[in-house]
Amino acid sequence: MERKEWPLWEVFVRSRNGLDHKHCGSVHAPDAKLALQVARDVYTRRQEGVSIWVVEASNIVASDPDAKPELFDPAEDKIYRHPTFYQLPDKVNHM
């Protein structure tokens, strides 16, 4: 009998008082429904009021580590690109 290999799922959890989902690990599961259950058992210990996202790993596109220079460096030496470079009038609150 052939055993079906379970795909990999990445797990993102928003903790009870958290504002955003954070990547916390991965699980293997045959489908999304079971991936959620497993993630809940492994990563949340069933605390109430948390939210879980599972994403099949094959759906995630990552940036290329070798392309780091052209992706991220240009921002570093152009301080006028940063909002903090500009003086705001006092009338503008909460920026």
Segment (H or E) for 51: strand 51-56
Residue 39: other Cβ atoms inside 10 A: 23
Please name every residue paired with 12 in a beta bridge, in sequence order, or none if there are none: 23, 53
Q: By C-beta, is 42 or 71 nearer to another protein?
A: 42
Q: Is 46 in the site for another protein (CB under 8 A)?
A: yes
CA distances in angstroms from 30 to 10, 38, 82, listed in the order given: 13, 11, 45
The answer to whether residue 50 forms part of the interface with another protein (CB under 8 A) is no
Which stretch, 41-49, 60-68, 75-83, 87-95, contacts another protein (CB under 8 A)? 41-49
The answer to whether 33 contacts another protein (rule: CB under 8 A) is yes
Of 11-19, 37-45, 71-79, 84-92, the window that binds another protein (rule: CB under 8 A) is: 37-45
**C-alpha to C-alpha distance for 17 and 94, rounded to whole angstroms:** 23
Binding to another protein, residues 9-28 (CB under 8 A): 27-28
Query: What tokens were used for 1?
Result: 């009998």
What does the binding site for another protein look like in residue numbers (CB under 8 A)? Answer: 1, 6, 27-29, 33-34, 37-38, 41-42, 46
